[in-house]
């Protein structure tokens, strides 16, 4: 008989939806709802039982009863047949969480019509059914099921009796086969209708199509079963010797049926397996899509709700009353308990649980009938009759335990297929968890800075996306601490790292735990403030800067640090202009670069962007512009004092840009330097200057050329070799080449710069300290440098006439330079007075607008020709005298 187990079993499932708990009682609302459902179901049970009893009474008095002593053995044989027929049944999975069993009950029933009266068949069925229920100690369901049994058999006999009457058979006549068939089909129909009503009573959802499909399937199977039983009985009762034939047909059909059910089960099990693995994998992706998820909602990177769904799926597949997932995916985590199905009675988490002592990785099957009293007690604590328990293991680590309690069937407990299925599920689950953990680690590493543990740039982009979409007012802060290079130079990288960690911690403390914070590189951080109106941004940045500027205790040292903050707000843009996180980061970066020079906090304004756009263009177009001849070298003469001979020229680069016009080196040299293109610039200028020098030599003029170097040139170890090759190429004596370097340039990285400078010096090249007086200007340090010249910065020379201080500086530099045996050059000589003063002080060389502005080659030629007297003869030493 197709048998719907929705009966009492469904009570256990009355909880709506999956729940998660960590040893806490379930939500009161869910419980209250469950209690109402339980009350409704009790009323339903009462109705079914009363109706069954009344109907059985009525049908019993209507149908005749003939006593026969053979009934003494027919009754027990029928009961055993019913028992066997049920035991061989298979489960059909229905997603309402109610399991339906298809069995062979129709076979004993249809035969029962011929060999026994109503009362005996009813008794046999009741004894078989209730006996099994009681043996499995599922007391709560007995009454409802008893009522259902009564109605099934009563209905069957009532219909059979009516059909018998309808086909015109007499009261004492044997029952016609049509009547037996119709009656037999009534039983599964009644039980199905009762179960569908139970689904309604419990307010569980089942689609109409599912209900119809299920009923149809049960009727078809019922019909096949009844026909087999009927034909077998008819053949044997007519030709008793044909029993082996009937047996063969029956066995054949059974074999087919089993093969089919095995196939069905295997297919369903495969589906369930891939479902569970997929759920873990998919939930991992979802969790990754919102990295800001609160850790307490996640177990092993998987949302607790997802775990509940997984538990629910396992429960459905095993037709278990309850599935418990116990998870501890990280060693330091507390054990999390996720329950699907019936509530788990609260348990003492510290107690030693004999069901959780799990050696190996296989599934263990515990039953209440077991001898071990500890196991019995543990099952009773769970309110369970039996339990399948399997550990989730990865390598040697216990990730968790899966428990399945009480199979939802009124006849059978868990079988070997359930054990197998749970075992495979557990290993799939453990593998997917392992993969998830690996993935989570990789993802975490991809989005986080290993040093500070804050986000990195890609992580920041990812995390910032969502709040940026949700909040109209957002501010991106870019925080630069100027400490990194200073500390790492002075103390080494380990200290700089500690400094960065300390700074990161301080920013985190200042901004609070929920603000997305990233370390971009070095000692640069970025933070996203949401819900911060643009007018408050400056204040917020300023406050943060103050906090960051306090000294950092790093071990026993206290390191001073200066913080610069640039910020960009979402509303700083022109209307209609959409800014994403990338754009904001870039703007904040532009703003922080604009902080130099006093203002330590700056907000982005569009004009800043223009500057940077221009810079960007300059950097990208520089190489091409060299080829296109947009870049040239101008020369500014230097004359000796007091005899005013041309001592040399300084090469100064010029760029006439097709779009931006004339660009001064102060504008583009720093950009080119930062872009790592200074080598290209220097070799161009050097080449031009040496070519010029060669021409003069060829004309018999010995004029030295000075080329400005940047610190970055000194980072190139091969630089001296390159210079030597160039000198050789043009055949220039090295003493005709001067390199000018600012002192702060050399100071910033003396270890690197000094060897290169020494090498250049040993080549015979003249070295000059440019802009002297503006930097640290340490005498001791000047002595260490292999230099030949100092160039007094033009700011002092220009101010000399009006400022006594400047005059004093110039005077002392001249004296200092001479005391060190250096040639002293003054630049920025614009007036006669200045030249005369310098001459009086004993300054060696003068350069400035008074003598000449920097000139292009042709005009320099003219200048030289107009102002000098030239002695004839090519390679002879020539003296150039200034005429004016």
Binding-site ranges for ligand C2E (CB under 6 A): 636, 652-653, 664-666, 669, 681, 685, 708-710, 740, 770-771, 794, 827-830, 848-849, 854
Tokens matching residue 865: 């020709």
Which entry of ligand C2E, Ca ion, none binds 352, CB below 5 to 8 A by partner kind? none
Instruction: Give the residue with the Cβ less far from ligand C2E, 13 or 710.
Output: 710
Question: Using CB distances below 5 to 8 A depending on partner kind, what does residue 664 bind out of ligand C2E, Ca ion, none?
Answer: ligand C2E
Given the complex with Ca ion, which of 743 and 770 has the nearer CB atom? 770
Give the SS3 label for residue 555. coil
Question: What is the per-residue binding string for Ca ion in 702-741, x denoting contact by CB under 5 A?
Answer: ------x-------------------------------x-
Report DSSP letters for 756-803, one per residue.
HHHHHHHTT-EEEEEEETSS---HHHHHHS--SEEEE-HHHHHHTTT-
**Among ligand C2E, Ca ion, none, partner that 229 touches (CB below 5 to 8 angstroms by kind):** none
User: Minimum CB separation from ligand C2E for residue 744, in Å?
Assistant: 11
How many Å apart are CA 865 and CA 138, to the nearest integer? Answer: 120
**Cα separation of 329 and 309, whole Å?**
18
Closest to Ca ion by CB, 536 vs 788, is 788
- How far apart are CB 771 and Ca ion at their closest, in Å? 4
If the CB atoms of residues 466 and 830 are measured against ligand C2E, the closer one turns out to be 830
The H-or-E segment that residue 613 falls in is: helix 606-627
Among 68-76, 154-162, 691-699, 771-779, which window interacts with Ca ion (CB under 5 A)? 771-779
316 binds Ca ion (CB under 5 A): no
Question: Which tokens hold the place of 778?
Answer: 């340490």
Closest approach of Cβ 656 to Ca ion, in Å? 21
SS3 assignment for 637-663: EEEECCCCEEEEEEEEEEEEECCCEEE
3-state secondary structure of 10: helix
Interface with Ca ion, residue 844, by CB under 5 A: no
| CA–CA gap between residue 563 and residue 487 (Å, rounded) | 14
Q: b/e string for 314-328 if b means 16 or more Cβ within 10 A? A: bbbbbbbbbbbbbbb
User: Considering CB distances under 5 to 8 angstroms, the limit depending on partner class, which of Ca ion, ligand C2E, none binds residue 669?
Assistant: ligand C2E
Look up tokens 């009344």; give the residue: 54
Question: Shortest Cβ distance from residue 852 to ligand C2E (Å)?
Answer: 9
List, in sequence order, every beta strand (DSSP E) within 539-659: 552-554, 557-559, 563-569, 601-603, 631-640, 646-657
- The least CB distance from residue 694 to ligand C2E, in Å, is 18
Number of residues that bind Ca ion (CB under 5 A): 4
DSSP label of 141: G
Q: Are 463 and 456 in contact (CB under 8 A)?
A: no
State the binding partner of 685 from Ca ion, ligand C2E, none, CB within 5 to 8 A by kind.
ligand C2E
Helix, strand, or coil (residue 572): coil
Q: How far is the CB of 681 from ligand C2E (least distance, A)?
A: 6
* CA dihedral sign, ordered 49, 53, 56, 62: negative
Of the ranges 49-57, 166-174, 404-412, 766-774, which one interacts with Ca ion (CB under 5 A)?
766-774
Which range, of 200-208, 322-330, 764-772, 846-854, touches Ca ion by CB under 5 A? 764-772
User: Edge-to-edge strand order for the sheet containing 517-521?
Assistant: 517-521, 524-530, 474-481, 563-569, 601-603
Q: Are 103 and 61 in contact (CB under 8 A)?
A: no
What is the signed CA dihedral for 208, 214, 218, 220, rounded to 10 degrees? 90
Rounded Cα gap, residues 241 and 89, in angstroms = 29
Q: Decide if residue 770 touches Ca ion (CB under 5 A).
A: yes
CB of 710 to ligand C2E, least distance (A): 4
585 or 790: CB nearest Ca ion: 790
Partner interacting with residue 345 (select from Ca ion, ligand C2E, none; CB below 5-8 Å by kind): none
Q: Residue 386 in contact with residue 406, Cβ under 8 Å?
A: yes
| DSSP 8-state code for residue 175 | P
719 or 796: CB nearest Ca ion: 796
> Binding partner of residue 679 among Ca ion, ligand C2E, none, CB under 5 to 8 Å per kind?
none
- Between the alpha carbon of residue 78 and those of residues 102, 180, 436, the distances in Å are 19, 16, 55
316 binds, among Ca ion, ligand C2E, none (CB under 5 to 8 A by kind): none
The nearest distance, CB 634 to ligand C2E, in angstroms, is 7
Distance CA 425, CA 318 (A): 11
CB of 880 to Ca ion, least distance (A): 21
- β-bridge mates for residue 297, sequence order: none
Minimum distance, C-beta of residue 459 to ligand C2E, in the bound complex (Å): 38
The CB-of-742 to ligand C2E minimum distance in angstroms stands at 7
- Identify which of residues 703 and 711 has a Cβ nearer to ligand C2E in the complex: 711
Is 771 an interacting residue with respect to Ca ion (CB under 5 A)? yes
The interface partner of residue 787, options being Ca ion, ligand C2E, none and the CB cut-off 5 to 8 Å by kind, is: none
Report the nearest approach of ligand C2E to the CB of residue 453 (Å): 41
Closer CB to ligand C2E, 313 or 794, in the complex: 794
Contact criterion met (CB below 8 Å) for 801 and 834: yes
Which residue sits closest to Ca ion, CB atoms considered?
Answer: 740
Nearer to ligand C2E, 74 or 792 (CB): 792
Which spans of this chain sit near Ca ion (rule: CB under 5 A)?
A: 708, 740, 770-771
């Amino acid at each position: 008989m197709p048998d719907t187990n929705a009966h009492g079993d469904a009570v256990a499932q009355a909880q709506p939806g999956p729940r998660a708990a960590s040893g806490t009682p379930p939500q009161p609302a869910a419980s209250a709802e469950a209690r109402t459902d339980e009350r409704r179901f009790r009323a339903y049970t009462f109705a079914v039982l009363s109706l069954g009893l009344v109907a059985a009474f009525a049908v019993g008095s209507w149908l005749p009863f003939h006593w026969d002593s053979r009934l003494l053995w027919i009754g027990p044989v029928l009961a055993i047949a019913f028992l066997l027929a049920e035991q061989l049944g298979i489960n059909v999975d229905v997603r309402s969480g109610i399991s339906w069993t298809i069995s062979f009950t129709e076979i004993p029933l249809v035969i029962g019509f011929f060999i026994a009266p109503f009362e005996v068949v009813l008794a046999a069925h009741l004894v078989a059914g209730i006996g099994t229920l009681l043996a499995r100690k599922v007391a709560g369901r007995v009454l409802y099921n008893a009522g259902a049994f009564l109605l099934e058999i009563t209905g069957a006999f009532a219909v059979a009796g009516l059909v018998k009457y309808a086909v015109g058979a007499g009261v004492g006549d044997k029952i016609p086969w049509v009547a037996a068939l119709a009656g037999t089909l009534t039983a599964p129909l009644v039980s199905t209708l009762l179960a569908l009503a139970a689904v309604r009573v419990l307010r569980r959802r089942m689609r109409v199509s599912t209900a119809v499909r299920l009923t149809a399937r049960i009727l078809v199977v019922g019909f096949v079963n009844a026909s087999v039983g009927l034909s077998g009985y008819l053949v044997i009762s007519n030709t008793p010797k044909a029993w082996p034939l009937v047996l063969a047909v029956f066995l054949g059909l059974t074999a087919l049926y089993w093969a089919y059910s095995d196939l069905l089960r295997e297919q369903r099990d495969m589906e369930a397996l891939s479902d569970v693995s997929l759920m873990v994998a998919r939930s991992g992706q979802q969790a990754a899509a919102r990295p800001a998820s609160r850790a307490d909602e996640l177990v092993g990177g998987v949302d607790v709700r997802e775990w509940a769904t997984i538990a629910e799926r396992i429960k459905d597949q095993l037709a278990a009353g309850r599935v418990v997932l116990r998870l501890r995916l990280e060693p330091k985590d507390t054990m999390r308990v996720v329950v699907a199905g019936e509530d788990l009675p609260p348990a003492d988490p510290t107690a030693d649980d004999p069901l959780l002592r799990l050696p190996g990785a296989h599934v263990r099957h515990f039953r209440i009938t077991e001898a071990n009293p500890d196991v019995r007690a543990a099952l009773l604590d769970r309110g369970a009759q039996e339990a399948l328990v399997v550990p989730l293991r990865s390598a040697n680590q216990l990730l968790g335990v899966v428990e399945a309690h009480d199979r939802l069937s009124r006849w059978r407990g868990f079988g070997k297929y359930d054990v197998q299925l749970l075992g495979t599920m557990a290993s799939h689950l453990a593998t997917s968890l392992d993969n998830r953990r690996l993935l989570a680690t990789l993802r975490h590493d991809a989005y986080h800075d290993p040093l500070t543990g804050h986000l990195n740039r890609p992580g920041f982009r990812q995390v910032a996306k969502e709040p940026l979409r949700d909040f109209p007012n957002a501010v991106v802060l870019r925080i630069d601490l100027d400490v990194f290079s200073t500390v790492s130079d002075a103390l080494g990288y380990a200290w700089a790292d500690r400094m960065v960690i300390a700074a990161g911690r301080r920013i985190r403390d200042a901004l609070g735990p929920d603000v997305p914070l990233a370390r971009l590189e070095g000692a640069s951080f970025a933070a996203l403030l949401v819900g911060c109106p643009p007018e408050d941004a400056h204040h917020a940045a300023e406050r943060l800067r103050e906090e960051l500027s306090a000294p950092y205790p790093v071990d026993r040292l206290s390191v001073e640090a200066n913080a610069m903050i640039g910020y960009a707000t979402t509303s700083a843009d022109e209307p209609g202009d959409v800014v994403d996180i990338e754009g904001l980061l870039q703007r904040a970066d532009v703003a922080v670069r604009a902080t130099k020079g006093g203002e330590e906090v700056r907000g982005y304004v569009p004009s800043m962007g223009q500057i940077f756009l221009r810079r960007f263009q300059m950097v990208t177009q520089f190489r091409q512009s060299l080829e296109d001849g947009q870049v040239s070298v101008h020369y500014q003469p230097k004359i000796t004092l007091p005899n005013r001979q041309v001592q040399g020229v300084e090469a100064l680069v010029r760029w006439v840009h097709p779009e931006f016009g004339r660009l001064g080196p102060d504008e583009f040299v720093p950009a080119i330097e930062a872009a790592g293109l200074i080598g290209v610039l220097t070799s161009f200028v050097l080449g031009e200057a040496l070519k010029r020098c060669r021409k003069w030599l060829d004309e018999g003029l010995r004029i030295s050329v000075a080329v400005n170097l940047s610190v970055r040139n000194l980072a190139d170890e091969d630089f001296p070799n390159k210079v030597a090759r160039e000198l050789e190429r043009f055949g220039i004596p090295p003493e005709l080449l001067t390199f000018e370097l600012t002192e702060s340039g050399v100071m910033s990285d003396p270890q690197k710069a000094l060897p290169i400078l020494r090498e250049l010096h040993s080549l015979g090249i003249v070295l000059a300290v440019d802009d002297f007086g503006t930097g640290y200007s340490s005498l001791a340090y000047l002595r260490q440098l292999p230099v030949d010249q100092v160039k007094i910065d033009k700011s002092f020379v220009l101010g000399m006439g009006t400022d006594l201080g400047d005059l004093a500086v110039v005077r002392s530099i001249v004296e200092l330079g001479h005391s060190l045996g250096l040639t002293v050059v003054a630049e920025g000589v614009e007036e006669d007075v200045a030249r005369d003063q310098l001459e009086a002080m004993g300054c060696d060389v003068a350069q400035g607008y008074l003598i000449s502005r920097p000139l292009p080659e042709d005009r320099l030629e003219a200048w030289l020709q107009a102002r000098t007297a030239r002695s004839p003869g090519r390679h002879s030493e020539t003296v150039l005298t200034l005429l004016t």
